[in-house]
Amino acid sequence: MSDTPPLYFRDLGDSEKPVLCLMHGLFGSSSNWMGIVRLLQDQFRIINLDLRNHGRSPHYSEMSYPLMVDDLLALCDHLDLQTVSLLGHSMGGKVAMLTALTNPERVEKLLVADIAPVAYEHRFASIFKGLQSMPLAQLESRDAADLHLSGYVAEPGVRQYLLQNLQKRGEQWEWRFNLQSLKDAIPLLTDFPEVAGNTFPGDALFIHGELSDYVNQQVIRRIDDYFPHNRRRMIHAAGHWLYAEQPVPFAQAVASFLK
């Protein structure tokens, strides 16, 4: 085991059980997964991590999927884990897919939540405007932050997701994530790296929300090309944040696939 972990992580669950690494989406953190952790911790050893520039992990000026794959593998090396199963949501799902495609010998099984290995339209312009214009120095409360953000982000659930990253250090409010690096990297993060000719020979499960538009018939062909041994599972009455909206069926799908 190396001395310094490259990422913040929580080592949870049963240390004698198979290892499952969890990776959150853009603007998220390991905290997002804790409801799922509680449902799965008796069956797995769970490594729940913060990706670079998120949560309690280090901030860097550079942000890309290959760098996040390197971070993940360095964390696995730190923990002396040669092979793990990966579960990633959205951006974290892209990290998981790229890891499986470029380092298949390190991945036992792959689980991807509501994302595909394709480029997506940049949907985050208003979010970045709201976050960057937040008057952190004058902010008096979380309610005031929510009121400010409501001028840019209509959905209350999305605002609460974003505001989980607002923390107070002394008398000063600040963001946990590295906002400028995330904004600079958005063209890379909405894309997916070119890995022509690579396939993952292992088993893969793609879980998508019934109400989400991130996984549709147009992207399924690309999934099949990269992951020939994939299965798909739809979670009813769930959108893009399917693990939070329907945690029990989501956790059941994960556990059933990994058995």
pLDDT-flagged residues of the chain (< 50) = none
Task: Using alpha carbons only, give the angle 249, 252, 257 rounded to the nearest 5 degrees.
Answer: 130
Residues 177 and 229 placed together within one structural domain of the fold: no
- Residue 137 inside a domain? The answer is yes
Residues 226/117, Cβ–Cβ less than 8 Å = yes
What pLDDT does residue 43 have?
Answer: 98
Does 137 lie in the same domain as 44? no
Looking at the domain assignment, is residue 159 inside a domain? yes
Nearest to 17 by CA among 50, 45, 59, 52: 45
Predicted local confidence at residue 30, as pLDDT: 98
The number of distinct structural domains making up the chain is: 2
Regarding whether 172 and 58 lie in a shared domain, the answer is no
Question: Has residue 1 been placed in a domain?
Answer: no
Residue given tokens 């994939």 in the structure block? 230
SS (HEC) of the chain? CCCCCCCCEEEEECCCCCEEEEECCCCCCHHHHHHHHHHHCCCCEEEEECCCCCCCCCCCCCCCHHHHHHHHHHHHHHCCCCCEEEEEECHHHHHHHHHHHHCHHHEEEEEEECCCCCCCCCCCHHHHHHHHCCCHHHCCCHHHHHHHHHCCCCCHHHHHHHHCCEEEECCEEEECCCHHHHHHHHHHHCCCCCCCCCCCCCCEEEEEECCCCCCCHHHHHHHHHHCCCEEEEEECCCCCCHHHHCHHHHHHHHHHHHC
Calpha distance 49→54 (Å, rounded): 10
Amino acid at site 74: A
Measure the CA–CA gap between 249 and 34, rounded to whole angstroms: 15
* Domain boundary residue, one of 144, 166, 185: 185
Starting at the earlier edge strand, list the strands of the sheet with 204-209.
9-13, 45-49, 19-23, 84-89, 107-113, 204-209, 230-235
Domain co-membership, 14 together with 65: yes
- Whole-number pLDDT of residue 3: 74
Whole-number Å distance between alpha carbons of 256 and 49: 23
What are the backbone angles phi and psi of residue 121, rounded to the nearest 5°? Answer: -65, 140
Q: Which residues are 12's β-sheet partners?
A: 46
Instruction: Using the 3D structure, point to which of 185, 207, 223 is the last residue of a domain.
Output: 185
Residue-level pLDDT at 198: 97
Query: Is there a single domain that holds both residue 61 and residue 91?
Result: yes
Q: Which of 168, 185, 202 is the last residue of a domain?
A: 185
Half-sphere exposure of 51 (CA within 13 A, CB side): 32
- Looking at the structure, tell me whether residues 30 and 75 fall in a common domain: yes
Q: Give me the residues paired with residue 45 across strands.
A: 13, 19
Q: What tens digit of pLDDT does each residue of 59-90 get?
A: 999 999 999 999 999 999 999 999 999 999 99
Q: Residue 37 domain-assigned?
A: yes
The backbone torsions φ and ψ at residue 96, rounded to the nearest 5 degrees and listed phi first, read -60, -45
pLDDT computed for residue 173 by the predictor = 97
Which CATH number is 107's domain given?
A: 3.40.50.1820
**Which residues face 47 on adjacent strands?**
11, 21
Residue 26 and residue 86 in one domain: yes
Range of the domain at 145: 125-185
**103 and 38 in a common domain:** yes
Q: Is residue 3 part of a domain?
A: no
